[in-house]
Structures are given as C-alpha cells and as structure tokens.
Structure 1
Amino acid sequence: MPRPLTRNLFLILTVSLLLSACSRQGIYETAIGLERSSAGLEADTVTVDSLDIAYLRNHKAVDGDTIVMIHGFGANKDNWTRLAGHLTGDFNVYAIDLPGHGESSKPIDIGYRLEDQAGYVAQILDALSVDNAHIMGNSMGGAITALYAANHPGKVKSAVLFDPAGILEYESELVDLVMEGDNPLIPRKPGDFERLMEFALEKEPFVPWPIMGVMEERAIANREVNEVIFAAIRDAGFESDFRDAITEIQAPVLIIWGKEDRVINYRNGEVFAEAIPGSRLELMEGIGHAPMVEAPAESAELFRTFIGQPAE
C-alpha cells in the first residue's frame, strides 16, 4: 500500500518543532526522517573504494523484485521517497546518492562524465549485492540509467527514464539560459533555490519554509562540486556516442516525460524512443522535469502497468 507523507503531517510536525524551539536543521532532519519512514525507507551507507555512498532502502525487505533509483543533477536520494512510498510494499527499493551529491562523498578530482557515473553505479550495486533489478533514473540519472542498462544487459529487468538527459536534439529554455551564462540549476545565493524549484517543477510539492531554507543552504554549499559535475557533462561531447550506446539496450524501457519540462524539451522523448529498441514513451500533461516528485502515484502506476504488476 502507498505510504506517502501528507501535507497535514508536515504541518503538524513543523508547528510542533517550532513550538519546541528546535533549530531549522533539527526540523529538517526530523521531517526528512518522517517522510522516509512513511515511505517504508531507512538510510544506510556503503563504502566503495574511497567513496562513502549514502542510500535509502526498505525498512523491511519484501518478497519482490528490486528497484534501484538514480537521481538527477544537483539532486539526491530523497527525490524518490514520494514515489517509493507507492512501491515499497511490493518491491525492495534502493535510492542512491551518487558521488558528489546528497550525503555521499563529494571529491572534486574524480570523473563526472555520464560514463564515469554509470561506472560508479555498477560498483555501488556490486557492493550492495544488487543484481537483476529494475532501474529508474531522472534527468542526468536517466542518462546514467540508460548507459548502465546498455553496459550491463544481464543485470537489468527493466529501465524507466524520467525526463532523461543525454539527447538535446530539441533545445529547451535551460539551454538558452546556460548559453547566456545563467544556470538556474546551480543555486549561488539566497532565493536561487526557490527559483530552481519553480523552474524545474510545474507541480511543486508542499515544503515548509524551515525545510526549504536548509535545502537552499545545502544547495549553495554544494556549488563548487555542482559546477564541476555540470561542466564535465556539458563538455564531454558525448551525444553521438550516447545515442549509439543506448541502441544496445536489451531490457524493456519506459520513457516518462512531463510535457511542461523547461529543463529538457519533452520532444526529445521521441528521439529516445526511436533510438531504444521496443521502448515505450508516456507523456504527462501538466508535469515538469520530475514526474516522480510531481506525480508519484501516477508514475508508480505507469511503472506497474509497464512491467505487468498492477497494485492489488
């Protein structure tokens, strides 16, 4: 059964903690912990080479398939909790903080090209003994998911790409802004994180102001590594190689795209669908760059229908 955290629970939590004079950081940690718990998840870490990798997993394992969730640029594992709440009753979920993101190690001097990151995912899943799983990815994580599926055909049951990066045949508002020297995906000062949320999400979830403030502080603190990662992806000149690589995917692929996406033009979904043999494209009206955040129940249902395991 789905277990998403409701707006009312957030309000009750926020008011209670404010009355008890908790710090904003304390409010944030408690709220995030409550949302994870409500989704049936708990936090853990694993060491891969010299990197500490943070991730979320089922609080209680179930007799079902495994789903691995890979976030996008500048995001983290908690982008998946709302979707996971609709899946952990039947699936064993792993939501990973990629290197450079969330609570994982953030070295500046490692490779952050898409190919590098797909390699890190392979190492992380090996360390977690995760094999033959459904893999989901959003934006940058969608491109990483596609490359992982192409490179490890025997380990992927299905792949779900939410508004994936990797192909920019149709340009977006983000491309125009970046060309002008303005990247809304990298907060640099107060107010930038709210702009990021408004730019990326057409249907913004409710987030109380103390939590939003901590999220902004963390995003600004990650500016340096975010700039390194963005530059590594932007300057790689990978698109032709990427298109060739994803033609090798053997697993069933579902592409889900919000039609109001300002980060990556939804029409690129057709290009992905043409490149990946047997893939299916689903467009979501009124949704932006992160369908799993903006429409978690609908996203979960699309996945379940795709793999032939509808909710009971």
Structure 2
Amino acid sequence: MPRRPRFQLLVVVLVAALVSACSRQGLYEAAIQLERSSSGLEATTTRVGDLDIAYLRNAEANPGDTIVMVHGFGANKDNWTRLADQLTDDFNVYAIDLPGHGDSSKPLDLGYTLDEQTEHLAGILTALGIDRFHMMGNSMGGAITALFAARYPERIKTAVLFDPAGIFEHESELVDLVREGDNPLIPSKPGDLKRLMDFALEEEPFVPWPILGVLEDKAIANQDINRVIFAAIRDSGFEPAFRQQITRIQDPVLVVWGKQDRIIDYRNGALFVEAIPDARLELLDGIGHAPMLEAPERSAQLFRIFLATSD
C-alpha cells in the first residue's frame, strides 16, 4: 500500500516552498525528493567505465526479491516512482537512468541501438552486483528488457513489458507524424512537453506547474542526444532480428499494454505473446503509453498476480 497521500503532501511542500520564496528549481527538487522518499527510494550514482550512472534504490533494503526498472526513450528513472511506491515494502527496487538519459552521462558517440543499450545495461547491473532479478521495462525499455531476458536467462526471474517497442507491425499515430517530419517525442521549444504528455498519456498524473517547467527545460536541453538515440533505434532495422531473439526467452513474461497508446499500437502485444514461449498479455482500457505511471496500483496488482501464478 502507498505510504501516505502523495497529492496532499506535494501541495504542502509546494506551498511551503512558495512561502519561503524558493526558486523554480528549488520547487522542482523539493517535489522530486518528496516523490522519491514517499516511495521508499533514494537517489545515488555509480561510475561504470567512463560513464556516471544515476539510479534510484530502496532507502531501506528488505529480504525480498530485486526488481530492475528500465525507462523508455527520453524518459528517466523517476517514471517508476509511483509504481515503486506499491512495491518497495516487499521488493528491492533499482530504477536506472540509462546512458543518454536522466542524470546519467550523455555521450553522443556511445552507441544507442537496442542491442547496444542492452549491453550497456548488462554492464551497469554487473557493476552494481545485481545478479538475479525481475525486470520491468517501458517502451524502449521494454524492448531492452525483452532482449536482456533473451540474452541473459540466468539473470532474469521474470520480465514485465509495459507497451514495449521492438515490434511495429500495427502502426500507430506516431508513425504518421514522424513520416511527416513531426516527432512529438523530442521537445524542442516551449509547449512541446505538454504536447508530449497529452500525446503519450491517456490518464495524466498530476504535475504542478513548477515541475512541468523544469522538466520541459531539461527535455529541450537534451534534444540533441534524444535525436541521436531516436535515429539509432529507427535506423537499425531491428524488427526481424528482434522477433527472432525474443523467441529465446525462457522465463515468464507479462506484457501490459494501454489500449489508448498512440505511440505504439496495443495490437502489437499479441505479436509479443506469439513470439515469447511463456508470455501473457493484459490490456488496460483508458490507459496510454505508460501504465506504470498512469495506473500504478493496477500495474502492481498485475505484477503480484503474475508472480503468484508463474511457475
């Protein structure tokens, strides 16, 4: 169960910060810290080769299993705090900022195909000493999770794919926009982040204006690396090889998809289940591209049921 009413606490923090004449950046940092701490998480970093890697982990470890959470394109570790809020009492959560994202290093020349990102993640988890775990991924992170499960079956207990990338047989609204030269996933000017949220999310969580403004500034500042990463994924021609690779997954897989997803069509979920030997599909009405953010309680419930009914 959640530890405390998040909305009421956030309002209190924002009012207190405003009264103390806190800057917009200060308001953002206070709200993000509240979001993390109320979910039982703390932020830290580690050095992996030449990269600084930021991540969230349980503030207090427990005897439960470990869950590794992998965000999507242009997103970051804080996309998982609301789902983590439902899980950190019983599990040890690690939400990673992949290279090129969040507070991790962002070299333009690192290599950002799905295959390369899977290997980057493997190296990060090895450096953190995380050997056997459940893995969850959203969108791009869902594709990375699937590839990780296919390549490292000895390290994975179960995998949960939230609206995963990797199979695009059924085209979405995003495809038409990108073909026209308009990519709503890469904010480049004021107003673009709100447009992205409206496009990606059907059930938008409450985000106060100071936080939204700072998030937009960060997204606009990251547009160059985001274009590099998007191009690496788009141009790699990975789909046939991707489908072949995920047939090798040996562990149970849960695919969760929002039926109002405008970024990747939910009908591709059935194709994931066809390709993966031990997979099941849950479709969520009224939810868009990020079920773990839009419906964290329902997502956690599905995960717990999945664990209880998996071999």
TM range (shorter): over 0.9
Question: What residue is the counterpart of 1:13 in the other structure?
Answer: 13
Question: How big is each residue's C-alpha offset from its partner over 1:68-93, in whole Å with a ceiling of 9 and x where there is no partner?
Answer: 00000000000000000000000000
Question: What residue is the counterpart of 2:298 in the other structure?
Answer: 298
- Alpha-carbon separation, structure 2, partners of 1:169 and 1:225: 27
Q: Shift of residue 12 of structure 1?
A: 1.5
Q: State the AA in 1 paired with 2:153.
A: P
Q: Aligned pair in 2 of structure 1 residues 204, 145: CA closer, same or farther (>3 Å)?
A: same
- Alpha-carbon separation, structure 2, partners of 1:126 and 1:236: 26
- Alpha-carbon separation, structure 1, partners of 2:4 and 2:152: 32
Question: What residue is the counterpart of 2:261 in the other structure?
Answer: 261
- Alpha-carbon separation, structure 1, partners of 2:275 and 2:22: 51
Question: How big is each residue's C-alpha offset from its partner over 1:184-208, in whole Å with a ceiling of 9 and x where there is no partner?
Answer: 0000000000000000000000010
Question: What residue is the counterpart of 1:158 in the other structure?
Answer: 158
Cα pair 2:35 2:81 within 8 Å, conserved: yes
Question: What residue is the counterpart of 1:282 in the other structure?
Answer: 282
TM-score, normalised via structure 1 length: 0.98
How many residues matched?
A: 310
Q: Shift of residue 135 of structure 1?
A: 0.2
Question: What residue is the counterpart of 1:245 in the other structure?
Answer: 245
Within a 5 Å distance, the mapping from 1:40-79 to structure 2 comes to 40-79=40-79
Q: Aligned pair in 2 of structure 1 residues 139, 308: CA closer, same or farther (>3 Å)?
A: same
Q: State the AA in 2 paired with 1:89.
A: D
Q: Shift of residue 231 of structure 1?
A: 0.2
3-state SS of 1:55 partner? strand
Q: State the AA in 2 paired with 1:161.
A: L
Question: What residue is the counterpart of 2:168 in the other structure?
Answer: 168
Question: What residue is the counterpart of 1:235 in the other structure?
Answer: 235
Runs ≥4 in structure 1, deviation > 6 angstroms? none
Question: What residue is the counterpart of 1:143 in the other structure?
Answer: 143
- Alpha-carbon separation, structure 2, partners of 1:2 and 1:26: 25
- Alpha-carbon separation, structure 1, partners of 2:102 and 2:296: 21
Question: How big is each residue's C-alpha offset from its partner over 1:10-52, in whole Å with a ceiling of 9 and x where there is no partner?
Answer: 1121121111111110010111001100000000111111000
- Alpha-carbon separation, structure 2, partners of 1:280 and 1:16: 46
Cα pair 1:5 1:35 within 8 Å, conserved: no
Within a 5 Å distance, the mapping from 1:210-229 to structure 2 comes to 210-229=210-229
- Alpha-carbon separation, structure 2, partners of 1:8 and 1:2: 13
Matched-pair identity in %: 69
Q: Aligned pair in 2 of structure 1 residues 169, 4: CA closer, same or farther (>3 Å)?
A: farther
Q: Shift of residue 267 of structure 1?
A: 0.1
| Runs of 5+ consecutive residues of structure 2 not aligned to the other structure | none
Cα pair 2:259 2:284 within 8 Å, conserved: yes
Q: CA RMSD in A?
A: 1.1
Question: What residue is the counterpart of 2:24 in the other structure?
Answer: 24
Cα pair 1:137 1:162 within 8 Å, conserved: yes
Q: Aligned pair in 2 of structure 1 residues 4, 225: CA closer, same or farther (>3 Å)?
A: farther
Matched, 1:198 2:198: yes
- Alpha-carbon separation, structure 2, partners of 1:171 and 1:251: 28
- Alpha-carbon separation, structure 1, partners of 2:256 and 2:171: 18
Q: Shift of residue 2 of structure 1?
A: 2.5
